[in-house]
Amino acid sequence: MKTIAITGGAGFIGSHVVRLFVNKYPDYKIVNIDALTYAGNLANLKDLEGAANYEFVKADIVNAEEMFQVFDKYQFDGVIHLAAESHVDRSISNPTEFVLTNVIGTVNLLNAAKKIWADNFENKLFYHVSTDEVYGSLGEEGMFTEETKYDPHSPYSASKASSDHFVRAYFDTYGLPTLISNCSNNYGSYQFPEKLIPLFINNIKKNLPLPVYGKGENIRDWLWVEDHARAIDEIFHKGALGSTYNIGGHNEWTNIDLIKVMCKILDEKLNRKTGTSEKLITYVKDRAGHDLRYAIDATKLQNELDWVPSLQFEEGLEKTIDWYLENEAWLENIISGDYQEYYEKQYEQR
């Protein structure tokens, strides 16, 4: 029997990790620690309500005392840390929030783990989930490996880079058993519709403009969220302590090509004449400091832990589009309320 804390479990990736662990490991107790910010939504985990090995705790990782109390109460054996402020555009408008949650919040969790484990680290593990954005931006050639030098450009990636450094510092200084993974862009069900793919599905459906930043030439490497959750499971159970694993799908797309594929799929699904949705494409002012290209080399993960993505992108994208079309109530519930205000502010200046 193990008790595992998963932070940020009510968010996009966190909810998939919680679901995987609760269903796959009935003899683990999974405690989801989440503050339920705008991005956290318990509806993402509706199917787990009543599961015997699952518990939700509403708590804020920025509050050190509260974190210590939660850790003291549950005496966790392991931590999988996903709670974060995660949207680059929001980090440009409000960088301090990102320092508080992503840097201070992570340090609070490291301290709480170190304290309850009282320097007896046998069979304990602190796993920090991070992003490929810490490596900065690539030109046309090359890929990020685990050895690539950190070079973050946005307040979001700078705060994630800082949190990664703290996790490594706790391994080097105190011997805290840690692991880090850096993953590329995720897509799939339950993603908050401020991110490219769910935002554009919703706008296409509603015949709203599709705000493409700059010329749409930026490149992202897309991975299906359930494959990320599978990788986290492998790394949590078999990763070499103190090390880092890159996770990615070898699946690079320019934004504009990806958007055109989405338009085509949605034309078919919504019974529109081919080319109708593409007319919604609107080029808007570029994101400040917009990274040109991300691409992950996941060879280490494949060689050491035998992980490869399970889904081809075309299949994953279609599945994802179907999910958003079928889960209209989930989407509408988010889009009502504060989201509208964010959307208007974010896009009126462009």
Task: Please identify every residue annotated as catalytic.
Answer: 132-133, 156
Give the separation between CA 244 and CA 148, rounded to whole angstroms.
Answer: 11
Shortest separation between residue 263's beta carbon and ligand TYD, angstroms = 14
What single string gives the DSSP state of each residue in 106-119?
A: HHHHHHHHHHHHTT
Q: Distance between terminal CA atoms of the chain?
A: 52
173-192: contacts with ligand TYD (CB under 6 A): 185
Rank residues 292 and 308 by Cβ distance to ligand TYD and give the closer one. 292
Give the separation between CA 267 and CA 104, rounded to whole angstroms.
Answer: 45
Binding flags for ligand TYD, 65-94, as an x/- string (CB under 6 A):
-----------------------x------
CA 175 to chain centroid, in Å, comes to: 27
- Establish if 199 lies at the interface with ligand TYD (CB under 6 A): yes
Member of 22, 34, 45, 224 binding ligand NAD (CB under 6 A): 34
* Residue 169 neighbours by CB distance under 10 Å: 14
Q: Would you state the structure tokens that stand for residue 275, as one six-digit string?
A: 């080319």
Residue in 88, 300, 267, 325 with CA at minimum distance from that of residue 194 = 88
Shortest separation between residue 122's beta carbon and ligand NAD, angstroms = 27
Rank residues 219 and 280 by Cβ distance to ligand NAD and give the closer one. 219
Of ligand NAD, ligand TYD, none, which one does residue 198 interact with (CB within 5 to 8 Å by kind)? none
Rank residues 61 and 179 by Cβ distance to ligand NAD and give the closer one. 61
With 0-12 / 13-18 / 19 or more C-beta atoms within 10 angstroms meaning exposed / middle / buried, residue 123 is exposed
Given a contact cutoff of 8 angstroms between Cβ atoms, the answer to whether 151 and 135 are in contact is: yes
Which residue ranges make up the site for ligand NAD (CB under 6 A)?
A: 7-8, 10-14, 34-37, 39-40, 60-62, 82-86, 101, 105, 129, 131, 160, 183, 185-186, 192
Which residue ranges make up the site for ligand TYD (CB under 6 A)?
A: 88, 185, 195-196, 199, 211-213, 218, 220, 255, 287
